[in-house]
Amino acid sequence: MKRDRLYPLSHAPVDFHFRQTPADFVVTEIPLYTFSNEGEHLVLKIRKKSLTTWQMVDILSSHLGIKARDIGYAGLKDKDAMTIQYISLNRKYEERAKEFSHPQIKVIESFYHSNKIRTGHLKGNRFFIRLKKVNPTDAKKIESLLEWIGKNGMPNYFGYQRFGREGDNYKIAQEIIEGKRRVRDRKRRDFLISAYQSHLFNLWLSKRVEISRIFDGLKLKELKQIFEWNDEVIKKVAGEGHFFKLFPGDVASHYPHGKLFTIGNIKSESKRMQNREISPTGPLSGIKVKHSTGIAWEIEKEFIKDVPAQGSRRYAWIWPEDIEGRYKDREAHFELNFTLPKGSYATVLLEMVANRPIMEDR
What pLDDT digit, counting tens, does each position of 103-135 carry?
999 999 999 999 999 998 999 999 999 999 999
Asked whether residue 346 is domain-assigned, the answer is no
Asked whether residue 18 is domain-assigned, the answer is no
For the chain, where are the alpha helices, taking DSSP H only? 53-64, 94-98, 136-152, 170-177, 186-217, 220-226, 231-238, 266-274, 294-300, 346-354
| 174 and 284 share one domain | yes
Q: Considering the chain, what percentage of its residues have pLDDT values greater than 90?
A: 85
| 106 and 193 share one domain | no
Domain end point (choices 120, 144, 170): 120
Residue 12 burial (CB < 10 Å; 0-12/13-18/19+)? exposed
pLDDT, averaged across the chain: 94
- Report pLDDT for 69: 92
The residue from 4, 78, 138, 250 that is catalytic is 78
| 116 and 178 share one domain | no
- pLDDT tens per residue, range 259-312: 999 999 999 999 999 999 999 999 999 999 999 999 999 999 999 999 999 999
User: Taking residues 314-318, what's their average pLDDT?
Assistant: 98
Domain end point (choices 279, 299, 318): 318
Look at residue 2 and tell me whether its pLDDT is greater than 50. no
Asked whether residue 4 is domain-assigned, the answer is no
Look at residue 85 and tell me whether its pLDDT is greater than 80. yes
- Report pLDDT for 165: 73
Query: Is the separation of the CB atoms in 35 and 236 below 8 Å?
Result: no
User: Taking residues 76-98, what's their average pLDDT?
Assistant: 93
- pLDDT tens per residue, range 53-84: 999 999 999 999 999 999 999 988 889 999 99
| 101 and 220 share one domain | no
**Model-level pTM?**
0.92
Asked whether residue 326 is domain-assigned, the answer is no
| 113 and 171 share one domain | no
3-state secondary structure of 163: helix
- Residue 124, Cβ neighbours under 10 Å: how many? 21
Asked whether residue 246 is domain-assigned, the answer is yes
| 69 and 177 share one domain | no
Query: Is the separation of the CB atoms in 18 and 358 below 8 Å?
Result: yes
Rg for the chain, CA atoms, rounded: 22
Domain region containing 73: 33-120
First vs last C-alpha separation in the chain: 15
| 111 and 190 share one domain | no
- pLDDT tens per residue, range 147-204: 999 999 999 999 988 888 777 888 888 888 888 888 888 888 888 999 999 999 999 9
Confidence of residue 331 (pLDDT cuts 50, 70, 90): very high
| 294 and 188 share one domain | yes
- Report pLDDT for 182: 87
| 268 and 167 share one domain | yes
| 111 and 205 share one domain | no
Asked whether residue 207 is domain-assigned, the answer is yes
Confidence of residue 1 (pLDDT cuts 50, 70, 90): very low
- Report pLDDT for 358: 87
Asked whether residue 359 is domain-assigned, the answer is no
- Residue 341, Cβ neighbours under 10 Å: how many? 20
- Residue 273, Cβ neighbours under 10 Å: how many? 23
Residue 267 burial (CB < 10 Å; 0-12/13-18/19+)? exposed
| 92 and 170 share one domain | no
Look at residue 361 and tell me whether its pLDDT is greater than 70. no
Look at residue 143 and tell me whether its pLDDT is greater than 60. yes
Active site residue 78: yes
Asked whether residue 130 is domain-assigned, the answer is no
Confidence of residue 360 (pLDDT cuts 50, 70, 90): low
Q: How far apart are CA 48 and CA 59, in angstroms?
A: 11
Q: Helices 231-238 and 266-274 sit at what angle, rounded to 10 degrees?
A: 10
Number of domains making up the chain: 2
Q: How far apart are CA 205 and CA 187, in angstroms?
A: 27
Q: What is the CATH number of the domain that holds 235?
A: 3.30.2340.10
- Residue 240, Cβ neighbours under 10 Å: how many? 21
